[in-house]
Every structure is written in structure tokens, then in C-alpha cells.
Amino acid sequence: MELGDKSFTPQEPSLIDKINGTLKMLGSTMKWKRAPEVINGAEVLKDKKIAMVDDEQGVLESFVPDLMTATDGKAAFIKYEGQSIDELTKQIQDAEADLVLLDYHLSEVLKGSDVVRALTEDGFSGDMVGFSSDPGAASDFKKEGALGSVDKKAWSPEVSVEQLAQLLNNKG
């Protein structure tokens, strides 16, 4: 049989390729050699498409490995760079996420809770969770219709992912 006679099925990119591709897309020079272990208790995230929105590139980068691993490669990361709220909600809707994680302090004038309100008004049917290190943000997120809020620990993303999983497990 000639080499040209074989039909090859394209392979789905591996998890580590997805992690590194996402980091590269964010402008990072980091490169992981292997994916982190799945976080205990995070099984509830496996079938979720998650979109994380933050204005800090370093924060987004720190969550890529754990969220990509927890979702089996189905996480998207949106950097807020001053887009209008309409442009941002469109980006989030285009990600077709089941769950959106929103930073509270996106800019001097735009709060994550404002984005929750706008997504709700646009008919977004997924869950929205505040993802912030600001302890006062939780009540604003809840008031606007978010499922809840998780303490975002960029220096220890696995702890935040574990808290997110607990929030979703307690949702039912």
C-alpha cells in the first residue's frame, strides 16, 4: 500500500496543546509540558463550557491550566481591554458558554455585575459567577442575578476552581 493510499483522520488537539494554544493566544510565552491533575471535586465542571472574563492578562494566564483541565479543554478566556459593554457581552455570547466567570473590577467604570445585568437582559441562559478578590463584590453579583461569587486567588487558582465546583454542586 502506498503512503498516499491511507486515509488519515485528523486528531483532536491534546489537552496540553489546548492549554499552550490558549496561553499563546493570550500573548503569553509560558509553555506547559503536561497538564495539571484534575482538581478533587471539580467533576461538575467537566462538561461545562466556561468563559472567564478579566482585565488582567496574568490572572487569565494563571487560570488557563486548571480551568482547561477541569473542563477537558472547553474553557475560553476573554481579556477586557476597554470594549463597550455591548462588545463584551457579544464576545461572551459568541463563546457559547454554559458558565461565565466575571471579574468585578473590569475598569474604573465597568463592573462585572454590570455585565451580569447586561447578559441577563440579552437573554443569556447560562450561569454567571462573580470571580473576584474583592470581598464586597459578592452582594453586587447576587443582586444582579449571578449564581454567586468565588474568591479569585490568582496565586492559587486550584483553590478558586475548587470553590467554583462547590458552588455549582450546591446549586441543585
Instruction: State the pLDDT at residue 1.
Output: 45
**What percent of the chain stands above pLDDT 90?**
81
CB 32, CB 20: distance < 8 Å: yes
Beta strands in the chain (DSSP E): 50-54, 75-79, 99-102, 127-132, 148-151
Q: Which residue type, as a one-letter code, is found at position 59?
A: V
Give the domains, in start order, of the chain with CATH numbers.
Answer: 8-169 (3.40.50.2300)
The model's pTM: 0.89
Residue 161 has pLDDT above 80, yes or no: yes
**What are the backbone dihedrals phi and psi of residue 75, each rounded to the nearest 5 degrees, phi first?**
-110, 145
- Full DSSP string of 18-43: HHHHHHHHTT-----SSPPPPPTTGG
